[in-house]
Amino acid sequence: RKEVEQDPGPFNVPEGATVAFNCTYSNSASQSFFWYRQDCRKEPKLLMSVYSSGNEDGRFTAQLNRASQYISLLIRDSKLSDSATYLCVVNRRYGGATNKLIFGTGTLLAVQP
């Protein structure tokens, strides 16, 4: 079983739709959580951090449930430019001060006109 699991998609949605991505992680030592966005053949870029209290950035809302080890990303009013792969990422501390990012395989979103 992978440490971070995501539905690979693809999610094909029309413009203006609301879409939700889910992610689960298996290691309870995970400390911080992120969503990264990766465009085709480009590098991953940080989209937003995820906090237990939930956080919102414009049309994007991220939620964390530590008890269920579950992370979500909600995108409202989808735009064509939202088409990308969304990577769920957890940061785990190990060996004292060392931190390691563990990436999911990503969920592909295709927003259709």
Residue labelled with tokens 């030592």: 29
Give 41 or 113: the residue with its C-beta nearer to another protein: 41
Please name the residues in contact with 1: beta carbons below 8 A apart, sequence gap of 6 or more: 26
Restricting to residues 38-97, name those near another protein by CB under 8 A: 41-46, 49, 87, 89, 91, 95, 97
| Least distance to another protein, CB of residue 72, Å | 17
Q: Which of 19, 37, 78, 104 binds another protein (CB under 8 A)?
A: 104
* Token pair of 44 as six digits: 């991953």
Instruction: Give the Cβ contact number of residue 72 at 10 Å.
Output: 17
CB 110 within 8 A of CB 83: yes
* Binding residues vs another protein (CB under 8 A): 4, 8, 31-34, 41-46, 49, 87, 89, 91, 95, 97-101, 103-106
